[in-house]
């Protein structure tokens, strides 16, 4: 048993060292403008859902002048952690260069900063924490375990309502279930290329994923205000899918 434990510890340390060495190599490749080599390393760890790795992938794509895929990975990063340093500036710049407008100029910058200060996943986590705390207090009050907790209950109701509303609003934002077109593609009226072509969607356009069928995805295109079906190979989803 001790031998197995020691072996597992050794393997864990070896993996950590290899992991660290990979990122040192990737950083050096990036600094030396060898972006494709840096990208190859970062892509190995893409499925870890680490926002910093996804951000670095986006930066590599941008430096390689692949601005559509760069945008897709910047949005992925933004959905996981909107506070990554430099992300918002790069996201807005790349979205604009791809012909998209993410944020209305009529809304003050400070409101966007507050609205996107947390990821959707962080917001729902806080909602659940405060909701559980509220339920516990209500149970304690019903059993007369604690007196004078009405003020605490009221405060928790307000906070829970704020996080709940915030989450619902974010679920309806441009970043929820969105993707980026990575190749100019035809939009069809049904889930096959035998259907009528509705429009041609340019590379770099942000779309909303509505449903999927076989190798086709039904999408909404906010800028053109149309919807239809396209081949899934022509877009990158920029959100985490439920497993």
Helices and strands per DSSP (H, E), number in the chain: 8, 7
Count of CB atoms situated within 10 Å of the CB of 146: 10
* Beta strands 235-237; 216-221: pairing state: unpaired
How far is Cα 212 from Cα 210, in angstroms, rounded to an integer?
7
Q: Which helix (H) or strand (E) holds 218?
A: strand 216-221
Task: Give per-residue pLDDT as tens, 189-214.
Answer: 999 989 999 999 999 999 999 999 98
Q: What is the pLDDT of residues 42-100, one digit of tens each?
A: 998 888 789 999 999 999 999 999 999 999 999 999 999 999 999 999 999 999 999 99
Location of structure tokens 């304690």 = 140
> Can you give the residue ranges of every domain in the chain?
2-102, 115-171, 178-237
Residue 9 pLDDT grade (very low, low, confident, very high; cuts 50, 70, 90)? very low
Per-residue pLDDT reduced to its tens digit, 32-53: 999 999 999 999 888 878 999 9
Tell me, what's the pLDDT at 243? 52
pTM of the model: 0.85
pLDDT confidence of residue 103: 79
Report the mean per-residue pLDDT for the chain: 87
Residue 185 clears pLDDT 90, i.e. is over it = yes
Please tell me what DSSP assigns to residue 104. Answer: -
Alpha-carbon separation of residue 150 from 61, 126, 131, 132, 136 (angstroms): 54, 21, 15, 16, 13
Same fold for the pair 2-102 and 178-237: no
Give 242's pLDDT tier (boundaries 50, 70, 90): low
Question: Does the domain made of 178-237 have the CATH classification 2.30.30.40?
Answer: yes
Architecture per CATH, 2-102? Alpha Horseshoe (1.25)
- Nearest CA to 48 out of 24, 5, 15 is that of 15
Count Cβ neighbours within 10 Å for each residue of 189-210 and write b for 16 or more, e otherwise.
eebeeeeeebeebebbbbbbbe
Cβ atoms of 79 and 122 closer than 8 Å: no
Structure tokens at 107: 């809304």
Lowest-pLDDT choice from 147-156, 159-168, 191-200: 147-156
Q: How far apart are CA 136 and CA 124, in angstroms?
A: 18
């Amino acid at each position: 048993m001790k031998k197995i434990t020691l072996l597992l510890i050794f393997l864990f340390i070896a993996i950590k060292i290899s992991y660290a060495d990979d990122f040192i190599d990737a950083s050096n490749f990036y600094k030396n403008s060898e972006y494709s080599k840096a990208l190859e390393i970062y892509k190995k760890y893409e499925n870890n859902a680490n926002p910093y790795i996804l951000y670095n992938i986006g930066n590599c794509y941008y430096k390689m002048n692949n601005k559509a895929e760069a945008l897709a990975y910047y949005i992925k990063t933004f959905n996981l952690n909107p506070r990554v340093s430099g992300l918002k500036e790069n996201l807005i710049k790349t979205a604009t260069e791809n012909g998209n407008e993410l944020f209305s100029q009529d809304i003050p910058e400070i409101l966007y900063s507050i609205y996107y200060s947390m990821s959707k996943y962080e917001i729902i986590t806080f909602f659940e924490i405060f909701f559980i705390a509220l339920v516990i207090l209500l149970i304690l009050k019903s059993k007369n375990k604690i007196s004078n907790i009405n003020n605490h209950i009221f405060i928790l109701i307000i906070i829970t309502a704020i996080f709940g509303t915030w989450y619902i609003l974010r679920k309806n934002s441009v970043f929820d279930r969105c993707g980026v077109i990575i190749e100019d593609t035809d939009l069809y009226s049904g889930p096959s290329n035998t259907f009528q072509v509705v429009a041609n969607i340019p590379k770099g356009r942000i779309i909303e994923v509505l449903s999927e069928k076989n190798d086709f995805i039904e999408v909404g295109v906010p800028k053109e205000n149309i919807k239809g079906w396209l081949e899934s190979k022509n877009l990158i989803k920029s959100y985490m899918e439920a497993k």
